[in-house]
Amino acid sequence: MSFPRYPKYKESGVEWLGDVPEGWEVKRLDFLASVKARLGWKGLTASEYVPEGFIFLATPNIKGEREIDFINVNYITAERYYESPEIMVQVGDVLIAKDGSTLGTTNVVRHLPAPTTVNSSIAVLRPKPELNSSYCFRWITSSYLQSVIQSMKDGQGVPHLFQEDIRKFSVLLPPLSEQKTIAEFLDRETRKIDDLVAEQQQLIELLKEKRQAVISHAVTKGLNPHAPMKPSGIEWLGDVPEGWEVTRIGFLCCKIGSGKTPLGGGEAYVTEGILFIRSQNVYDDGMHLDDVVYVSEETDAEQPWSRVVSGDILLNITGASLGRTCLVPDNFQAANVNQHVCILRLLSSTSRHFVSMVLKSSGMKAQFDAAQNGAAREGLNFAQISKLALAVPPAAEQTEILKFLDTELAKFDTLTTEAQHAIDLLQERRTALISAAVTGQIDVRKPPKN
C-alpha cells in the first residue's frame, strides 16, 4: 500500500518541518485552542477523596492511544469540582500529561461517563472551531511534536512541561475538512495496526503458557510417559516417577538469604563498582542488566553474606515480580543483592540447573502464591522458601531433561522473538504513518494504491 504526495509544497518556515502542502498553515497552539491547567488545587489532599462524586483524573488515567481510564479514578466533592470551572472537562478536549515519566502522553475525550476534572499534572486543551480535536490529538502524538516535548523538559528534578511551553507549540494546520479526513483515516488505519499488534501479543502470551507447561511436565513427570510412578505425598506434585526423591528446598541448600538496600538508598549507587542486583534484574528467562546499578566496594564489604557467585539461584521474594527466578551464569562478575532478591545456594552443583527449572514450573509458582504473606505487600520469608517441595530425579535423568528443555525452549524463544519483531515493525509503521499524515508527506484524501 502506497500513498501519493500532494501536488504542490511550500516552505513551512519551521526548520524541523521542512516543506508542507500548499494551503496548509503553521500556527501557534494558543491561537487555535485554550490551554488550561490547575495549579495546586488549593491544598487538595488524598484524604478529601470521596467514594462517589465528580471524577478527578490523574496522569495514569491518560492512556495515550487507548481509551481514557474512567474506572480506576478518584472522586472529589461538588464543592471542589466547582472551584475550577476552567478545567471542567468536555467532550472534544485534548488532555496532555505535563509531569513525570508520563510527560507528553496525550488523549482526546471522546465521551464522559460523569462530570470530570483533572489534577494539576494534566493540561486541558480546548480546540477552537478551526482545529479538529482528533487531528489536534494526532498532531501532538506525532513523533515530530513528541520530540519537541522531550527537548522542552525542565531539567531540574521531575520532568515538567510548563503551560507556557504548551501554548507555544507549532501546529501544522490543513483546512478543517482535511483535518477531519486525516483524523478519520488515522483512526481507521491505526485500529487495523492495533488489531495486528494485539494478535501478536496474544501469541506471545500463548507461547509463555505453553513454555511453562513444557517445563512443568518435564520437571514433575519426566520424559518417559511409561515410567512407573509413585505418590509424592505432595498435593500439587501428585504422582512422580519412581526413583525420584521428594524433598524440600531447604534440604538442598547451604544458603538461603538476601541482602539489604545500602544506607542512603539510591544515593549510595555509583557509576562503577560492584553490580547490585535488584528484582527488576531477575527474570525467568535470565538476568536483565539493562537497568542495572552499582555500589562501591566499601558498601559491598559491609554485606558479605549477600554476595552472589556463579551457580546461585536468584529468586524475587516481594512485590509484583515475586516468584521470578534465574540461575547466575558461570564466570559471572562480582555482585551483591538487595532485600527483595533471595540467594539459593545449593549444597551440590549437580542439581542447580534442574532446581532452577523446577522453580519456573506452574506448580512451584502456585506454592509461591500460597506461601506469600504480608497484608500490605506480598512477600516470601526464608522459612517458607525452605519448605517448598519438589521432586529430584537421578543426575543422569536430570541431564536428559535439561537437554530436552534446552531444545524445546529454544523453539519457543525463537517464535517469541519473531512475534516481538513483528510488533516492533507494526509500531514503527504506526508512528511513521501518523507523522506522515499530519505533516502532509502523504495525501490520504483518496484511496491508496495497492
What digits encode the pLDDT tens for the residues 83-135?
Answer: 888 889 999 999 999 887 788 899 999 999 999 999 988 999 999 999 999 99
Rounded distance between C-alpha atoms, residue 183 and residue 351, angstroms:
59
Domain limits, the chain: 1-24+175-203+402-450, 27-173, 223-392
Rounded distance between C-alpha atoms, residue 310 and residue 132, angstroms:
59
Please give the share of the chain, as a percent, with pLDDT higher than 70.
95
Which residues is 173 bridged to in the sheet?
25
- The CATH fold assigned to 223-392 is Adenine-n6-DNA-methyltransferase TaqI; Chain A, domain 2 (3.90.220)
Cell numbers for 91: 467532550
- pLDDT for residue 391 is more than 50: yes
Cα three-residue angle 13-18-24, rounded to 5 degrees: 65
Rounded distance between C-alpha atoms, residue 113 and residue 62, angstroms:
15
Rounded distance between C-alpha atoms, residue 284 and residue 356, angstroms:
9
Crossing angle for the helix pair 362-371 and 176-221, to the nearest 10 degrees: 100
- pLDDT for residue 264 is more than 90: no
Q: Which residues, other chains included, contact 278 with Cβ-Cβ below 8 Å and sequence gap of 6+?
A: 293, 337, 338, 340, 341
The answer to whether residues 303 and 266 touch, using CB atoms and an 8 Å cutoff, is no
pLDDT at 18: 86
Lowest-pLDDT range of 36-40, 89-93, 135-139, 140-144: 36-40
**Based on C-alpha coordinates, what's the Rg of the chain?**
28
Q: Tell me if domain 27-173 and domain 223-392 are identical in fold.
A: yes
Rounded distance between C-alpha atoms, residue 234 and residue 246, angstroms:
9
HSE-CB at 340 with a 13 A cutoff on CA atoms is: 17
The answer to whether residues 97 and 105 touch, using CB atoms and an 8 Å cutoff, is yes
Rounded distance between C-alpha atoms, residue 90 and residue 70, angstroms:
14
Rounded distance between C-alpha atoms, residue 132 and residue 263, angstroms:
53
Cell numbers for 70: 474512567
- Per the CATH hierarchy, to which homologous superfamily does domain 27-173 belong? DNA methylase specificity domains (3.90.220.20)
Rounded distance between C-alpha atoms, residue 252 and residue 212, angstroms:
23
